[in-house]
Structure 1
Amino acid sequence: MTKKLSLTLACGDYEIVRPLKEGTVEPDGIELNILTGADSTTRHWRFLRNQEYDVAECSASSYIVARDRGMPFRALPVFLHRRFRHGFVFINTGKGITRPTDLIGRKVGVKSYQVTAILWLRGILEQEYGVPHKSIEWFAELDEDVEFTPPEGLRLSKIPDEKSIETMLAEGEIDALLHPDIIDPIIEGDPRVGRLFPDYKAEEMAYYAKTGIFPIMHVLGFKQALVEAHPWIVPNLYQAFEQAKAIAMKRMRNPRLVPLAWYQEAWEEQEKVLGPDPWEYGLGERNRKNFETLVGYSHQQGLISRPIPLDELFLSTSQGRKRGTFRT
């Protein structure tokens, strides 16, 4: 029997990776040990700090910073997680914040400064709403995935370990909070906490209509030594992820899979607004604009020393013109 290369992949437990996890799709020549138990923050840390996984779904922002620092990682343009972010700007309702510019001069918390969701939000607030990122005093709860020295003029502090950034918002120690997840005070209906954009879906749809950007959150990272030793895994894994997503998207068209009364209507609305493949992989025109915007924000905000070209950030998946296609 031909021996396959055994690789450990850490990623989220998503529908679009289910065919890989269940073995419906098997990358040619590769045996995957797929780990889905870690939350995103922990997975990114363990990959970038400890290099515990061969391949990992990784914070796009932290990956960009890692490449700028010359750290031994590479990535595929496989974007397992995207999310619009206007609904993740939370405010203390007693602070008189009713519009984005009310954040200027305020104390604003973040999970960590480098988080991709927060990078997008700082960029969007600055570019679309006139809120300079250096006009805010920032408070971070966690250490960064990659060591980071704040640039001149950036006010950034880490809160004490015994404090919670979400509790600080509710109790008024900070005025607002940018967070990658829905925070507990919102889930619990705490009246002291609300959203900056109450109709965040309308804001997100307007943002997409203007920019064509459905923000990319994560990339598929590799240990550089692994790619150098086995370059053939790059197109093989890329093709496997494409196949898995195609199978998943076809399966998800069945409204019986999800216990939502208006699931079909939501699916049709998504297709009408975002097109048939909002989670497309590769570096087509839409994805290039998407990721170049993120790189631009990273440079503008002092996380990286230069705008890094995408051809330096992503491995080539080409198998030759009109070659390497698959049929589902």
Structure 2
Amino acid sequence: MTSKLKLTLACGDYEIIRPLKEGAVSPDGIELNILTGSDSATRHWRFLRGQYDVAECSGSSYLVARDRDMPFRALPVFLHRRFRHGFVFINTGKGIEKPSDLIGRKVGVKFYQVSAILWLRGILEEHYGVPHKSIEWFAELDEDIAFDPPADLKLQRLEDSKSVEKMLADGELDALLHPDIIEPIVNKDPKVGRLFPNYKAEEVRYYQKTDIFPIMHFMGLKRELVEQHPWVVANLYQAFEQSKAMAMKRIRNPRIIPLAWYQEAWDEQEALLGPDPWEYGLTPRNRKNLETMVGYSHAQGLISRNIPLDELFLDVSQGRKRGTFRA
């Protein structure tokens, strides 16, 4: 029997990769060892140090890696997207009532490079008139890839004993941009709130204005893998497409999810975002999404130029009207 190419894939434990993980979908000629145990920050850091063949990777950090010609490439597969207006947290005693109140304030981040924070800085600047250089930034963790901040960027790295969540609750920070729902919000700490209390309505307005459902993560590959086995690119991409199609068909069944109004939520999402908000590939909508992300990265001093998308992502086409997976 012909042996398959053995690859290690690290990613989040998403429904849209369940068919791949469980073996219902298998990329042609490839045997995947799929790891889903790491948190995002750890997985991204380890991939960018060569520990996985293929991995879901921070979009922001991948842009920095490609700007420096590090040995990685990416498929236009986007396992994680998220609207971010609900992830701007404030200390409720600091008189912050609107976005412009953040100007001149002390604002924490887990680390500066993370995709969620890249998007939030860009959105606050472009849509709410809050220049990212008008804020004093405090970062808790080291970056996925070390970088030299622009001379006029106010960015401090906190000592290991400090936590940005605790600093926000204690009033040492005025606000916090974070990729996750923070503990003070979960615990309903009255000292901590959201900049946008009705964040869903704000996110809907943002989407209606921009047609952007922000992409957070790309699917990274080692460059040597692509060079040695170029056929892997299309085969992996097709498998991710098949897995997503199979998963979306499964979870269309409202009995799958234990939520009383799941069908209504699904219908609401489809009416606003369309039938496939998680679409892969360099479609027109995804191009706008990604070009916005690249533009924010360049404007914020993380990358040295606006990198063209066709340079950032591998070509997954198999010729006109060939190799198209039909759900």
Give yes or no for TM over 0.5.
yes
The residue number in structure 2 matching 1:151 is 150
Spell out, residue by residue over 1:69-109, the C-alpha distance to the aligned partner (whole angstroms, 9 max, x if none): 11000000000000000000000000000000000000000
User: SS of the counterpart of 2:255?
Assistant: helix
Q: Does 1:320 align with 2:319?
A: yes
Residue correspondence of structure 1 range 243-282 to structure 2 within 5 A: 243-282=242-281
Matching residue's letter, 2:174? D
Q: 1 CA distance for matches of 2:325 and 2:253? A: 23
Give the residue type in structure 1 aligned to 2:161: E
1:43 is aligned with what amino acid? R
Aligned to 2:200: 201
> What do you get for the CA RMSD once the two structures are aligned?
0.5
Q: Which residue of 1 aligns with 2:98?
A: 99
Q: Which residue of 1 aligns with 2:2?
A: 2
In 2, Cα distance between equivalents of 1:140 and 1:148: 13
Quote how far apart the aligned CAs of 1:326 are: 2.2
* Distance in 1 between residues matched to 2:246 and 2:110, nearest whole Å: 34
Which residue of structure 2 aligns with residue 26 of structure 1? 26
How many Å separate the matches in 2 of 1:254 and 1:99?
40
Cα deviations by residue, 1:289-308 (Å, 9 ceiling, x for unpaired): 00000000000000000000
Q: Structure 1 regions of 5+ residues with no counterpart? A: none
Could you say what secondary structure the match of 2:9 adopts?
Answer: strand
Q: CA deviation at 1:2?
A: 1.1
Match of 2:221 in 1: 222
* Counterpart Cα distance in 2 of 1:9 and 1:127: 36
Alignment of structure 1 residues 1-328 onto 2, 5 Å: 1-48=1-48, 50-328=49-327
Q: Give the SS at the match of 1:286.
A: helix
Q: Deviation at 1:139?
A: 0.3
TM-score (norm 2): 1.00
- Over residues 225-283 of structure 1, what are the superposed CA-to-partner deviations in whole Å (9 max), with x where a residue is unaligned? 11100000000000000000000000011111111111100000000000000000000
CA distance in 1: counterparts of 2:146 and 2:229, whole angstroms = 29
Q: Which amino acid aligns with 1:32?
A: L
3-state SS, counterpart of residue 185 of structure 2: helix
Distance of 2:259 and 2:291 partners within structure 1: 36
Runs (4+) of structure 1 moved beyond 3 Å? none
The one-letter code matched in structure 1 to 2:47 is F
In structure 1, C-alpha distance between the alignment counterparts of 2:265 and 2:315, rounded to whole Å:
35
Q: Whole-Å Cα distance in 1 between the matches of residues 2 and 22 of structure 2?
A: 21
> Structure 1 CA distance, aligned partners of 2:96 and 2:322?
54
Q: CA deviation at 1:286?
A: 0.1
TM (normalized to structure 1)? 0.99
- 1:128 is displaced (CA, Å) by 0.1
Partner Cα distance (1:69, 1:188) in 2: 41
For 1:124, the aligned partner's letter is: I
CA distance in structure 2 between the partners assigned to 1:87 and 1:212 by the alignment = 18
Alpha-carbon separation, structure 2, partners of 1:327 and 1:197:
40
Q: Which amino acid aligns with 1:204?
A: E
Take 1:120 and 1:326, find their aligned partners in 2: how far apart are those partners? 32
Q: Percent identity?
A: 79
2:252 & 2:133 partners in 1: Cα distance? Answer: 44
Residues of 2 paired with 1:105 and 1:176: CA distance? 11
**Aligned-pair CA distance for 1:152:** 1.6
Tell me the secondary structure at the aligned position of residue 24 of structure 1: coil
Alignment-mate amino acid for residue 58 of structure 1: C
User: Counterpart of 2:288 in structure 1: which amino acid?
Assistant: K
Q: How far apart are 1:130 and its partner, in Å?
A: 0.1
For 1:215 and 1:299, locate their aligned partners in 2 and report how far apart those are by CA, in whole Å. Answer: 17
How far apart, in 2, do the equivalents of 1:134 and 1:102 lie?
A: 14
Tell me, in whole angstroms, the C-alpha distance in 2 between the residues paired with 1:29 and 1:287: 29
How many residues align structurally?
327
Measure the CA separation in 2 of the matches of 1:191 and 1:64: 38
Q: Mind listing any 5+ residue stretches in structure 2 that lack a counterpart?
A: none
Secondary structure of 1:256's aligned partner: coil
One-letter code aligned to 1:35: L
What SS is found at the alignment partner of 1:221? strand
